[in-house]
């Protein structure tokens, strides 16, 4: 998942041109690579602003994967069938894997995973606002797959063409896995809708709670997101927030009809003239509150990550100490 927060651009320009005056040439080469839709690779020269913006975007994406394990992870031990348990366990494991590749992609830009983790648990870097909402029933597992992973796919498929090579390649694999996640969520909901009245109520309730926060995943409306322009120019970002949101709504409406649930928006209707669905306005004040840390679960999510990290300190220290002792023993053996 990609938080739109990345739109807050680091506008630092590259360091002053070196004495050799090579930078303008490098900048030209970079600009030409972007213009030709070719990839920037880790060893290529890149403007400092591009590097910093990417590190921040990729780190926020990685953090979102890792924090995003929590809302669903709690249901692995409670999943009501062994098949659902296996599917959910594998899904949450995939998210850990996505976090790993993304932190690795950020490391190709000179970032350090431990430092990025510190920034997350100290609240200095953000993750997607959606994970600050609670999961209240097993139907939430299905709705998260359908809406949240669906919205993530809308955001992420264009990133498979991101100008930065390692990020684009990581996104190809991640998008494949996200599509499994979305389908398993939808399939769970289909099964529940064919079940008991209580199950159908659980599904509708979860849809009611997750619809608006899911629309907020695309970020504020375009006229309130002025900083996206540089990311679009750098081809880090490919479509505007509103374009992606519209795409998500248009895709989801027929799926909701097929499922037999009502999306909680009285203004939602097909507009023949536009060839798209019209829909209501999300509560942008709520989005701002959640982003600033006042969502229902912000403190809980960060605290869990902090606790796991802190309680794991002695384990990581032990691994490091063992590796150092091994190296010392090997060296001693080689000398002797």
Residue 292 binds other proteins, judged by CB under 8 A: no
Question: Could you tell me the CA-to-CA distances from 270 to 80, 154, 215, 275 in Å, in that order?
Answer: 37, 20, 17, 8
Task: Please pick, from the candidates 232, 233, 321, 330, the single residue that binds other proteins as defined by CB under 8 A.
Answer: 321
User: Which residues from 295-314 bind other proteins, rule CB under 8 A?
Assistant: 304-305, 307-308, 311-314
- Integer Cα distance of 226 and 319 in angstroms: 46
- Find residue 278's DSSP bridge partners: 269
Pairwise CA distance, residues 183 & 332, whole Å: 55
For residues 245 and 220, what is the distance between their CA atoms, to the nearest angstrom?
A: 10
- 70/198 Cα distance (integer angstroms): 25
Shortest Å, Cβ 110 to other proteins: 20
Residues between 130 and 149 with contacts to other proteins, criterion CB under 8 A: 138
Q: Which tokens in the block code for residue 133?
A: 């909402």
Map residues 96-135 to x or -, x wherever contact with other proteins holds by CB under 8 A.
Answer: xx-xx--x--------------------------------
SS3 assignment for 163-187 = CEHHHHHHHHHHHHHHHHHHHHHHH
CB 103 to other proteins: min, Å = 8
Q: Which residues contact residue 261 at a Cβ distance below 8 angstroms, ignoring those fewer than 6 apart?
A: 189, 193, 203, 204, 207
CB of 64 to other proteins, least distance (A): 14
Contact 37, 70 (CB under 8 A): no
**In the complex, minimum distance from the CB of residue 252 to other proteins, in angstroms, rounded to a whole number:** 9
Residue 150 makes contact with other proteins by CB under 8 A: yes
CB of 238 to other proteins, least distance (A): 8
- Per-residue mark of binding to other proteins, 10-39 (x: CB under 8 A): ------------------------------
Interface of this chain with other proteins, residues 156 to 215, rule: CB under 8 A: 157-158, 160-161, 172, 175-177, 179-184, 187-188, 191-192, 194-196, 198-199
Distance (Å, whole) CA 91 – CA 142? 12
Out of 10, 44, 89, 107, the only residue in the binding site for other proteins (CB under 8 A) is 89
User: Are 14 and 27 a contacting pair, CB within 8 Å?
Assistant: yes
8 is a site residue for other proteins (CB under 8 A)? no
**CA distance linking residue 165 with residue 46, whole number of Å:** 13
> Least distance to other proteins from the beta carbon of 67, Å?
9
Our finding on whether 61 is near other proteins (CB under 8 A) is no
The stretch near other proteins (CB under 8 A) out of 7-15, 151-159, 224-232, 270-278 is 151-159
């Amino acid at each position: 998942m990609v938080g739109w927060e990345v739109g807050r651009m680091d506008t630092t320009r590259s360091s002053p041109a070196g004495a050799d005056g090579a930078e303008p040439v490098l900048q030209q080469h970079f600009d030409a690579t972007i213009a030709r839709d070719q990839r920037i690779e880790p060893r290529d020269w890149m403007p400092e602003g591009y590097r910093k913006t990417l590190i921040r975007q990729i780190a926020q994406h990685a953090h979102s994967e890792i924090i995003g394990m929590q809302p669903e992870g709690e249901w692995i031990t409670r999943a009501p069938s062994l098949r659902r348990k296996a599917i959910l366990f594998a899904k949450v494991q995939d998210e850990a894997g996505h976090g790993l590749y993304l932190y690795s992609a950020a490391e190709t830009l000179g970032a350090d995973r431990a430092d990025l983790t510190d920034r997350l648990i100290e609240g200095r870097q953000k993750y997607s606002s959606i994970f600050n909402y609670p999961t209240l029933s097993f139907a939430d597992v299905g709705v998260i797959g359908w809406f949240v992973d669906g919205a993530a796919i809308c955001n992420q498929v264009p990133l498979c063409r991101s100008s930065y090579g390692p990020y684009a390649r990581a996104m190809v694999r991640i998008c494949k896995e996200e599509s499994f996640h979305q389908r398993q969520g939808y399939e769970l909901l289909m099964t529940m809708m064919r079940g008991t009245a209580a199950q159908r109520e659980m599904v509708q309730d979860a849809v009611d709670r997750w619809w608006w926060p899911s629309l907020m995943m695309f970020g504020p409306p375009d006229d309130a997101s002025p900083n996206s322009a540089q990311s679009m120019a750098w081809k880090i970002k490919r479509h505007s927030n509103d374009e992606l949101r519209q795409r998500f709504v248009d895709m989801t409406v027929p799926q909701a009809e097929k499922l037999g649930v009502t999306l909680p928006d009285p203004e939602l209707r097909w507009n023949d003239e536009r060839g798209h669905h019209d829909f209501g306005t999300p509560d942008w004040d709520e989005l701002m509150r959640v982003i600033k840390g006042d969502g229902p679960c912000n403190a809980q999510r960060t605290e869990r990550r902090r606790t796991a990290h802190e309680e794991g300190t002695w384990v990581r220290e032990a691994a490091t100490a063992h590796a150092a002792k091994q190296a010392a023993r090997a060296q001693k053996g080689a000398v002797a």
